[in-house]
A = this chain, B = another copy of it.
Amino acid sequence: MKTLKYSRQRESIKACLMGRRDHPTADDVYLSIRQEYPNISLGTVYRNLNLLVELGEVQKLSFGYGPDRFDADLIPHYHFVCKNCGTIADLPLKPFPELNREAQQCCEGRIDSHSTYFYGMCRNCMFREPPQD
């Protein structure tokens, strides 16, 4: 069988993710880790991020456009995406289980989960941008 072996790179990747709140992309993580391990390769970052997702230690966020993001905060929560600047923010909002129940009532298959992203304009952009007409 395939056993998991320790790797300092993986530790560093996980530590990096746990240390930030900005939902970095694989490339963001790569740039950050490079300061400690200057010749880590991007492929290693991707492989370990995916591994951590499989292990359930990290979650991957995919919303419509741009590269995927990673989040080490395992407490279930929704995300907000600013359509203007692309920033992702955590919403301190517990996922609604009743959504799955509602959907189940009109679905012939079995519903296990849902993913919801909220879109709009973040506070920063609201002040910086000209008001919409």
Q: Which of B93, B106, B115, B125 contacts A64 (CB 8 A)?
A: B115
Interface centre among A63, A116, A125, by most chain B C-beta atoms within 10 angstroms, is A116
Which residues A80-108 have CB closer than 8 A to chain B?
A: 80, 82-83, 89, 91-93, 96, 99-100, 102-103, 106-108
How often does this chain occur in the complex, in copies? Answer: 2
Residues in chain B near residue A111, CB distance under 8 A: 80, 118-120
Whether A83 pairs with B99 at a CB distance below 8 angstroms is no
- Chain A contact residues: over half helix, strand or loop, or mixed? mixed
Give the distance to chain B from A108, nearest Cβ to Cβ, in Å.
4
Q: With the chains together, A63 CA to B113 CA distance in Å?
A: 13
CB <8 Å contact, A106 and B92: yes
Contacts of A113 in B (CB 8 A): 118-120
- With A110-B126, A114-B116, A123-B109 as given contacts, are A103 and B99 in contact (CB-CB < 8 Å)? no
Which A residues contact B (CB, under 8 angstroms)?
62-65, 78, 80, 82-83, 89, 91-93, 96, 99-100, 102-103, 106-123, 125-126
